Amino acid sequence: MKNGTITRRCRCTDPATGKDYGASCPKLKSRRHGVWSVFQELDPAQDGRRRRFRRGGFESSSKAQEELDKVRALMAIPEEDDAWGRTQISDLIESCLKEKEPLPDYDETRRRFQTGQTLNSKTTVAEWLDTWLAGRKRLRRGGAARYECDIRVHLKPHLGHLRLDKLRVHHVNTMFDAINERNIEIQEQNAQRRAVRDELKATPWKGAENRARRKWLQAQLDAMPPFRRVTGLNTQPHIRDTLRAALNVAIAQQVMPAFNPAAHVELLPGTKPKALIWTDERIAHWQETGEKPSPVMVWTPEQTGQFLDFVAEDRLYPLWRLIAFRGTRRGEACGVRWVDHSAAAQSLAIATQLVQDGWEIHEGAPKTDSGIRLIALDDETHQVLLRHKAGQEQEREAWGDGWHDTGRIFTQEDGSLLHPGKVSDLFERLVAAAGLPPIRLHDLRHVSATLMLAAGVDIKVVSETLGHSDTRITRDIYQAVLDDLARDAAEKVVQLVPRARKPLTVVKDTEAAAPSRRPTMTPPRKAKGVSAEERSA
């Protein structure tokens, strides 16, 4: 490495020629006159181009010497025979010179160089998130899509411009504050659009005044933003977890300091919807208001039986029955294969599923490792599957060369794959046609869990049948159902004790108002929809 130099010059001009004196200025005899500059030869660029580090404007020789020492210390980080490393360091110094930025910290640059990291410490959060996501090769397609959505919709717009090593907790807090403020704005705009839409629907067509009113309302509706979904409190933890996972990798690779800002962000608590049973009171409330008591609703055994009777002649009856009694997920039921069915053991292996990505579908592994499981089949379900197989063979013969041999148990009439989204749509139409309170197709899986719990099946067996990784997940989802079962168990305990006296009856309001009657008590009423005998069946 060649020795660098420091020089001093000024901007004084020769009155006779009008040119700068440069280094020959007579005033340079005074050490306070002029400014000091640094010159250091760098390693040639990859294309052989000669490079020099020149920087001036230093007030004293000591400050100029300090800058020169920094340059020489950086250039001394690689070994003498490490040509590539010396080129990288020279690239870094040259970039600082072009951007008119201070030289990088020696210790940080040395650490990055020795660990094989990029020497540019100005990596932004957006750049790192792209790098991190591209390196997640083992993600399932659904998981990758969820990460990509979090990054594209939330993390990049709010944090992408920040330097990765400068990211702090308050930056992440500011992002979630902005998300919550945006939620309020979206809710207000949705309410305004809903009010205009309802008024438009209620305005009749007849009459010039009404037509003019409808035209004005339609113009208002067209000018409004479309209905949008808010980023709920249950979604925000996933956004934080995406950022935390990406930053953990950055810390492990020593791309940023060993502090993860996302791990120290506190979010507003969200609420997970609880599974509730469609009791008579809840059905009446739904019929009156059109509102479901919970996003997750579960049929009673009677309602489940009514649905299965209604769809008994439906081509996909075995699929509805499988989900209702064995609790398979939608994608698992659509993707199950005949090779997974054991006629001898009356069992069905859940080893694959059809995953919906947008509107495209593809085959993938079950949602979790615990989702790969073997479920037992009752005699009737087993016989239903055998009859379905015989019917599928008839369809194969009818279609001839047009048959798609996918090997799936449940297919379209030509043997092609079932689309999970279309299966959900068909289920909702069948529920409405049956005159039953609405549930989602995924809620039919919850019905299966409720039936097993009501039948007294151990919670661990229920969890394994559903493919949950832990019984705590099962308890969290079905806590409200378990509470109903606990009340039923309390009834059974009381009934075990023989009594000589008849149970007291509860006083009704009209009876309490009559002075001639003595107050009496009646036993607590059982939960409607599920009798004690059916719960113990």
156-189 per-position pLDDT tens digit: 999 999 989 889 999 999 999 999 999 999 999 9
Residue 527 pLDDT: 38
Stretch (H or E) spanning 362: strand 360-364
Strands (E), 365-498: 373-376
Residue 7 has phi, psi (to 5 degrees) of -130, 160
pLDDT digits (tens, 9 = 90+) for 327-354: 999 999 999 999 999 999 999 999 998 8
CA angle at residue 463 from 311 to 479, to 5 degrees? Answer: 85
**Per-residue tokens: 424:** 């959900």
Q: Whole-angstrom Cα distance, residue 415 to residue 409?
A: 9
Q: What is the enclosing helix (H) or strand (E) of 269?
A: none
Residue 46 has φ and ψ, to the nearest 5°, of -65, -30
Cβ-Cβ contacts under 8 Å for 375 (sequence gap 6 or more)? 326, 328, 347, 348, 349, 350, 465
- What's the burial of 68, exposed, middle or buried (CB within 10 Å: 0-12/13-18/19+)? buried
pTM: 0.62
CB 90 within 8 A of CB 43: yes
pLDDT digits (tens, 9 = 90+) for 64-103: 999 999 999 999 999 988 888 888 889 888 888 888 888 8
The more confidently predicted of residues 273 and 497 is 273
Q: How many CB atoms lie within 10 A of CB 394?
A: 9
Buried b vs exposed e over 28-60: b needs ≥16 C-beta within 10 Å? beeeeebebbbbbbbbeeeeeeebebebbebee
Q: Write down the residue that tokens 């229920």 correspond to.
A: 462
**CA angle 490–494–497, rounded 5-degree value:** 150
Report in angstroms the alpha-carbon separations of 430 from 188, 313, 319, 448: 35, 12, 13, 18
- Kindly provide the b/e burial profile for residues 103-131, where b requires at least 16 CB atoms within 10 angstroms of the residue's own CB: bbeeeebbebbeeeeebebebbbbebbbb
* Of residues 159, 157, 154, 89, the one with CA closest to residue 123: 159
Distance CA 239, CA 251 (A): 19
Under DSSP, the state recorded for 163 is B
Question: Tell me, what's the pLDDT at 19?
Answer: 81
In the three-class reduction of DSSP (H, G, I as helix; E, B as strand; rest coil), residue 37 is classed as strand
Candidates 275, 327, 272, 323; CA nearest to 296 is 275
DSSP 3-state assignment of 407?
coil
Interatomic CA distance for residues 172 and 494, integer angstroms: 55
For the beta carbon of residue 177, count every other beta carbon within 10 angstroms: 12
Higher pLDDT, 21 or 355: 355
Question: Mapping DSSP to helix (H, G, I), strand (E, B) and coil, where does residue 328 land?
Answer: coil
Helix, strand and coil in the chain, % to nearest 5: 55, 10, 35
CB contact at 8 A, 438 and 428: yes
Please report, rounded to a whole number, the percentage of residues in the chain having pLDDT higher than 90.
Answer: 49
Q: What pLDDT score does 487 carry? A: 62
Residues of the chain with pLDDT > 70, as a percent, come to: 87
Q: Please calculate the CA angle 210-213-216 and round it to the nearest 5 degrees.
A: 155
- How many residues are present in the chain? 537
Is the confidence at residue 141, as pLDDT, over 90? no
Mean pLDDT of the chain: 84
Across the range 390-413, mean pLDDT stands at 94
Tell me the average pLDDT across 241-245: 95
Query: β-strands 5-9, 35-41: how paired?
Result: antiparallel
More confident call, 81 vs 503: 81
Q: Are the C-beta atoms of 154 and 175 separated by less than 8 Å?
A: yes
Q: How far apart are CA 134 and CA 85, in angstroms?
A: 26
Q: How far is 294 from 27, CA to CA, in rounded Å?
A: 87
Measured CA to CA, the distance from residue 388 to residue 391 in angstroms comes to 5
Per the structure block, which two tokens stand in for 145?
């899509």
Rounded to whole angstroms, the Cα distance separating 376 from 325 reads 10
- Report whether pLDDT(523) > 60: no
- The residue-averaged pLDDT of 368-382 equals 86
Beta-ladder partners of 276: 297
Asked whether 275 and 445 are in contact (CB, 8 A), the reply is: no
Which residues, 6 or more positions from 192, have their beta carbon under 8 angstroms from its beta carbon? 224
In angstroms, how far is CA 158 from the centroid of its own chain?
Answer: 17
pLDDT at 290: 87
